[in-house]
Structure 1
Amino acid sequence: MPGTFGRSATAGAVALAAVLAVAGCSSGSSDGKPDPKRSSAAPAAGSQEIDPQPAANVRQGGTVKMAIQQWVSQWNFYQVDGTQGDGQSIVQQVEPSLFTFDAHGNSVLDKDFLVSAQVTSTSPQVVTYRLNPKARWSDGRQLSWQDFATQWKALNGTDDRFLVADTSGYDQIASVTRGAGDQEARVTFRTPYADWQRLFRPLLPAPSIATPDLFNKGWLTKVPITGNSWKISSYDRTAQTVTTVPDPNWWGAKPKLDAIIYRSLDASAQTDAYLNKEIDYASAILPEDYKRLSGSPGTDIRHGARWDEVHITLNGARGPLQDLRVRQAVDLAIDRKGLVEAFSKDLPFPVRPLGNHFFMPNQQGYQDNSGHWGTYDLAGAKQLLDQAGWKDNGAGKARTKDGRQLTLDYVLSAGSSSSATDQAQLVQAQLAQAGVVVHIRQVPANDYFEKYVDTGGFDLVSFRNVDAIFHTLLYSTFQAPKGQQVYGNYGRVTTPQIQQLLDQAARTTDQAASDALYNRADTQIWQQVHSIELYQRPQILAVRKGLANFGASGLADWNYNTMGWTK
Structure 2
Amino acid sequence: MNRTIRVLALGLSAAALLPAVTGCGSGSGTHAAQSAAPPVGAQGINPQPVSALKQGGSLRLSITQWISQYNYYETDGTNSDGAAILSQVEPDLFLLDHQGVPHADPNFLVSAAVTSTSPQVVTYRLNPKARWSDGKPLSYLDFKQLWQDDNGSNPAYLLSQTTGYDQIGSVTQGADATEVKVTFNKPYADWQNLFTPLLPADQIDTPDKFNKGWIEKVPVTSAAFKIGSQDKTTQTITVVPDPNWWGPKPKLDSVIYRVLDAGALTDAFLNNEIDETSAQNPADYQRLVKSSATSIRTGSRWDEVHITLNGARGPLQDLAVRHAVEKAVNRPALVAAYGKDLPTKLSVLDNHFYMPNQKGYQDNAGSWGVFDPAAAKQLLDQAGWKDNGAGQPRTRNGRTLELSYVVNAGGSQQLVNQAILVQSMLGQVGIKVTIQQVPQNDYFEKYINVGNFDLTAFRFTDAIFTSQQTPNFQQPQGANVFGNYGRIGSPEIDRLLLQAGQATDPQQAVSLYNQADAKIWELGHSIELFQRPQIIADRVGLANWGASGLASVNWPAVGWQK
What TM-score comes out, normalization by structure 1 length? 0.95
* Distance (whole Å) between structure 2 residues aligned to residue 352 and residue 373 of structure 1: 17
Following TM superposition, the consecutive aligned residue runs of length 4 or more in structure 1 with deviations greater than 2 angstroms are none
Report sequence identity in percent.
58
Structure 1: distance between partners of 2:35 and 2:58: 38
Shift of residue 267, structure 1, vs aligned partner: 1.1
- Alignment partner, residue 20 of structure 2: none
Secondary structure, aligned partner of 2:170: strand
Tell me, in whole angstroms, the C-alpha distance in 2 between the residues paired with 1:484 and 1:551.
37
Counterpart selection for 1:15 from 3, 11, 15: 11
Task: Please name the residue that 1:525 is paired with.
Answer: 520
The answer for the alignment partner of 1:305 in structure 2 is 300
1:386-441 deviations in whole A, cap 9, x for unaligned? 01100000000000001000000001111111110000000000100000000001
1:365 equivalent to 2:360? Answer: yes
Tell whether 2:163 aligns with 1:162: no
Residue in 1 that maps onto 2:346: 351
Q: Distance in 2 between matches of 1:559 and 1:378?
A: 49
In structure 2, C-alpha distance between the alignment counterparts of 1:49 and 1:411, rounded to whole Å: 33
How big is the shift at 1:39? 4.1
Which of 427, 436, 450 aligns to 1:432? It is 427
**What letter is aligned with 2:440?**
A
- Picking from 391, 412, 416, the partner of 1:417 is 412
Q: Is 1:141 matched up with 2:136?
A: yes
Cα displacement (A) at 1:13:
2.0
Unaligned runs of 5+ in 1: 18-34
Alignment partner, residue 73 of structure 2: 78
8 Å contact 1:111–1:132 — kept in the other structure?
yes
Alpha-carbon distance in structure 2 between the residues aligned to 1:241 and 1:497: 45
- Structure 1 residue 56: Cα displacement: 1.2
Q: Is 1:283 the equivalent of 2:278?
A: yes
Aligned length: 546
Quick one: distance in 2 between partners of 1:497 and 1:212? 30
CA distance in 2 between partners of 1:272 and 1:373 (Å): 41
User: What are the residue-to-residue correspondences of 1:455-474 with 2, within 5 Å?
Assistant: 455-474=450-469
Which residue of 104, 110, 117 corresponds with 2:99?
A: 104
**Counterparts of 2:147 and 2:195 in 1: how far apart (Å)?**
8
Q: Tell me how far 1:36 sits from its aligned partner.
A: 9.2
Structure 2 CA distance for aligned equivalents of residues 171 and 90 of structure 1: 26
1: CA distance, partners of 2:488 / 2:293? 47
- Equivalent of 2:550, from 548, 552, 555? 555
In 1, distance between residues paired with 2:108 and 2:118? 27
Q: Secondary structure at the match of 2:417?
A: helix
* C-alpha contact (below 8 Å) 2:144/2:171 kept by paired residues: yes
Equivalent residues in 2 for 1:163-562, closer than 5 Å: 163-562=158-557
Contact 2:63-2:81 at 8 Å conserved across structures: yes
Q: Distance in 2 between matches of 1:351 and 1:270?
A: 23
Instruction: State the distance in 2 between where 1:483 and 1:70 align.
Output: 27
Residue deviations 1:173-224 (CA, integer Å, cap 9, x gap): 0010111112211100011100000000100001110000000111111100
Q: 1:38 Cα shift?
A: 1.8
Residue 28 (structure 1) aligns with:
none
Equivalent-residue separation in structure 2 for 1:560 and 1:38 (angstroms):
35
Contact 2:12 2:64 in 1 (8 A): no
Within 2, Cα distance between the matches of 1:244 and 1:520? Answer: 43
User: Residues 109-143 of structure 1: CA distance to partner in whole angstroms, max 9, x if unpaired?
Assistant: 10000001000110000001110000000000000
CA distance in 2, matches of 1:36, 1:188: 53
For residues 285 and 438 of structure 1, what CA distance do their matches in structure 2 show? 27
- SS in structure 1 at match of 2:442: helix
1:3-152 to structure 2, matched below 5 A, reads 6=3, 8-15=4-11, 37-152=32-147
**Aligned residue type for 1:41:** A
Are the counterparts in 1 of residues 34 and 342 from structure 2 also a CA contact under 8 Å?
Answer: no
* Contact residue 312 and residue 531 of structure 1 kept, 8 A: yes
- Structure 2: stretches of 5+ with no match in the other structure: 14-29
| 1:16–1:419 Cα contact (<8 Å) kept | no
Contact 1:246 1:258 (C-alpha < 8 Å) held by counterparts = yes
